[in-house]
């Protein structure tokens, strides 16, 4: 008779000769790491479906945490790390224990490479209301100091109202200007009739100037892209000064972008006219819906 089982990990047997599926791999990793272990880091973030994370079946390794003083180890496709922070409310799904969304986001972002990836992860999770910003801040502050600065900076961008990395780059660029006043990210706009207008990516209030970042990356198809570009028309109808830019121009020609916005600002200020539009900063970033 053929073999009726498969050794998945040391001491963990699958009662089937076939290859384990994704769920079986996760359970096997949990069993191997022990009853006090839990799925963590990028594995947990992928489990929760957080943005800018690989899918679970794309991950080569399953990451887990165990309480200190248990020792860290890597065995086959399982990576076990120890932690002194054990007051976390874990998420339970059947036999699995999983790190909460906020901690898994912070741990995954801390392990990410380029700063742009860190910013994209944290900004998207906060702006999509998948995590509470104050929970993210808690897990940033209780972790070891290494890497805190860039995690805090990404969270600060999200709290300022930035919805994407290109918007964050634009806000930083405009903030470097000696001509422009402080700008707002994604405020709510209303005209003098109380009607809501298109949300500007960046807003300079004293002259009612909107800078719009247009990128096909965030739109599903060509029609969606055209609709997004044309929707700025309501700002024009309200006599708002609109300066369109692209992520590529912000990245490749920042001086040219800054010059365009500064020129538009100076011209608007000289005109003495300001559109009858009220801008309200967005401040409700603390809680997930």
Q: Which sequence spans correspond to the domains of the chain?
A: 6-159, 165-280
CA-based max dimension of the chain: 90
Element (H, E) at 171: helix 165-175
Give which of 122, 124, 63, 125 is closest to 98, Cα–Cα. Answer: 63
d(CA 28, CA 41): 17
Q: pLDDT by residue (tens digit) across 90-112?
A: 999 999 999 999 999 999 999 99
User: 86 pLDDT band (50/70/90 cuts)?
Assistant: confident
Q: pLDDT by residue (tens digit) across 65-80?
A: 999 999 999 999 999 9
pLDDT above 60 (res 220): no
DSSP 229: H
- Is the previous residue joined to 50 through a cis bond, with omega within 30 degrees of 0? no
Element (H, E) at 79: strand 78-83
d(CA 255, CA 57): 42
Give which of 93, 51, 270 is closest to 179, Cα–Cα. Answer: 270
Which CATH number does 165-280 carry? 3.40.960.10
Close Cβ partners of 178 (under 8 Å, ≥ 6 residues apart): none
* pTM for this entry: 0.85
152-168: average pLDDT:
95
Contact 38, 57 (CB under 8 A): no
Of 228 and 180, more confident: 180
The percentage of residues in the chain with a pLDDT greater than 70, rounded to a whole number, is 91
Quote the mean pLDDT of the chain. 90
Measured CA to CA in angstroms, residue 77 lies from 52, 62, 111, 162, 236 at distances of 22, 6, 17, 37, 56
DSSP per-residue letters across 114-126: SHHHHHHHHHHHH
Residue 39, φ and ψ in degrees, nearest 5: -65, 140
């Amino acid at each position: 008779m053929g073999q009726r089982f498969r050794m998945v990990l040391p001491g963990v047997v699958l009662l089937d000769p076939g290859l384990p599926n994704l769920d079986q791999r996760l359970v096997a990793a949990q069993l191997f790491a022990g009853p006090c272990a839990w799925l963590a880091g990028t594995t947990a973030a992928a489990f929760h479906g957080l943005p800018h994370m690989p899918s679970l079946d794309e991950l080569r390794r399953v990451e887990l945490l165990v309480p200190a003083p248990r020792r860290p180890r890597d065995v086959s496709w399982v990576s076990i790390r120890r932690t002194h922070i054990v007051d976390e409310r874990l998420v339970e799904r059947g036999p699995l224990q999983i790190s909460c969304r906020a901690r898994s986001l912070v741990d995954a972002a801390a392990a990410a490479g380029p700063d742009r990836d860190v910013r994209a992860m944290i900004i998207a999770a906060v702006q999509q209301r998948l995590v509470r910003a104050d929970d993210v801040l808690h897990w940033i502050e209780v972790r070891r100091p290494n890497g805190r600065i860039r995690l805090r900076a990404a969270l600060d961008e999200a709290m300022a109202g930035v919805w994407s990395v290109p918007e964050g780059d634009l806000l930083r660029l405009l903030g470097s200007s000696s001509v422009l006043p402080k700008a707002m990210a994604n405020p709510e706009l209303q005209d003098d009739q109380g009607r809501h207008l298109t949300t500007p990516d960046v807003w300079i209030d004293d002259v009612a100037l909107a800078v719009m970042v247009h990128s096909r990356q965030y739109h599903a198809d060509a029609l969606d892209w055209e609709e997004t570009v044309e929707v700025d028309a309501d700002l024009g109808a309200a006599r708002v000064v609109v300066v369109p830019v692209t992520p590529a121009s912000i990245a490749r020609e920042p001086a040219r972008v800054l010059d365009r916005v500064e020129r538009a600002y100076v011209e608007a200020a000289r005109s003495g006219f300001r559109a009858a539009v009220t801008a309200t900063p967005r401040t409700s970033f603390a809680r997930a819906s």
